[in-house]
Amino acid sequence: MGKYAGEAKELLELVGGRENIAAVSHCMTRMRFVLNDPKKADIEKIEAMKVVKGSFTQTGQFQVIIGNTVADFYNDFIAVAGIEGVSNEAVKKAAKQNQNVLQRMVTALVEIFAPLIPAIITGGLILGFRNCIDSLYLFENGTKTLCDISQFWSGVDSFLWLIGEAVFHMLPVGICWSVTKKMGTTQMLGIVLGLTLVSGQLLNAYSVAETAAADIPVWDFGFFQVNMIGYQAQVIPAVLAAFTLVYLEKFFRKITPQVVSMIVVPFCSLLLAVIAAHFVLGPIGWRIGSAISSVVYAGITGSFRVIFGAVFGFVYAPLVITGLHHMSNAIDLQLIADYGGTMLWPMIALSNIAQGSAVLGMIILQKKSAQAQEVNVPACISCYLGVTEPAIFGVNLKHVFPFVCGMIGSACAAILCVAMGVTANAIGVGGLPGILSIQPAYMISFAICMVVAVGVSCGLTIVVGRKKLTAEETGQVPVAELAEIAAGAGASAAAGVVASIERNRENAAKAGSGKESGQSAGKVLKAFLTGQVIDLKEVGDGVFSEGIMGEGLAIIPENNILYAPADAQVSVLMQESRHACGLTLDDGVEILLHVGIDTVAMNGDGFEYLIEEGQKVAAGTPLIRFDREKIRAAGHPDTTVCIITEPADAKNIRFLTGRKAEAAVTVVAEYE
128-142, 400-414, 512-526: range with lowest mean pLDDT: 512-526
Give mean pLDDT, residues 522-536: 90
Q: pLDDT per residue over 62-72, tens digit each?
A: 888 887 778 88
CB 300 within 8 A of CB 309: yes
Task: Compare 637 and 392 and report the one with higher pLDDT.
Answer: 637
Give mean pLDDT, residues 100-112: 66
Domains of the chain: which residue ranges?
Answer: 5-99, 111-292, 299-459, 479-516, 523-671
d(CA 107, CA 95): 11
- Enzyme catalytic residues: 27
What is the amino acid identity at position 62?
F
Alpha carbon distances (Å) from 83 to 76, 80, 102, 469: 11, 8, 31, 50
d(CA 28, CA 596): 12
- What angle, rounded to 10 degrees, do the helices at 187-197 and 236-255 form? 140
On whether the 523-671 domain is CATH 2.60.120.260, my answer is no
Whether the model pTM is above 0.85: no
* CA 652 to mean position of chain CA atoms: 33
Sheet holding 640-646, edge to edge: 616-617, 568-573, 580-585, 590-594, 640-646, 551-557, 531-535, 659-661
Fold match between domain 5-99 and domain 523-671: no
Q: How confident is the model at residue 360 (pLDDT cuts 50, 70, 90)?
A: very high
Among the listed residues 42, 46, 39, the one whose alpha carbon sits nearest the alpha carbon of residue 7: 46
d(CA 99, CA 259): 39
Provide the CB-side half-sphere exposure for 577 (13 A, CA).
Answer: 24
Which residues, other chains included, contact 218 with Cβ-Cβ below 8 Å and sequence gap of 6+?
Answer: 225, 226, 227, 228
Instruction: Count the helices and strands in the chain (H runs, E runs).
Output: 25, 20
Residue 52 has phi, psi (to 5 degrees) of -100, 130
Residue 521, pLDDT above cutoff 60? no
Residue 550 has phi, psi (to 5 degrees) of 135, 175
**Length reported for the chain:** 672
518 strand-pairing partners: none
What is the amino acid identity at position 126?
I
CB 631 within 8 A of CB 638: yes
Among the listed residues 355, 395, 400, the one whose alpha carbon sits nearest the alpha carbon of residue 375: 395
Q: pLDDT per residue over 246-290, tens digit each?
A: 999 999 999 999 889 999 999 999 999 999 999 999 888 878 877
34-48, 482-496, 552-566, 567-581: range with lowest mean pLDDT: 482-496
d(CA 594, CA 624): 10
197-211, 245-259, 461-475: range with lowest mean pLDDT: 461-475
Residue 33 has phi, psi (to 5 degrees) of -105, 145
- Into which CATH architecture does domain 5-99 fall? 2-Layer Sandwich (3.30)
Task: Compare 520 and 535 and report the one with higher pLDDT.
Answer: 535
- What angle, rounded to 10 degrees, do the helices at 345-365 and 443-468 form? 40
Q: Residue 534, Cβ neighbours under 10 Å: how many?
A: 22
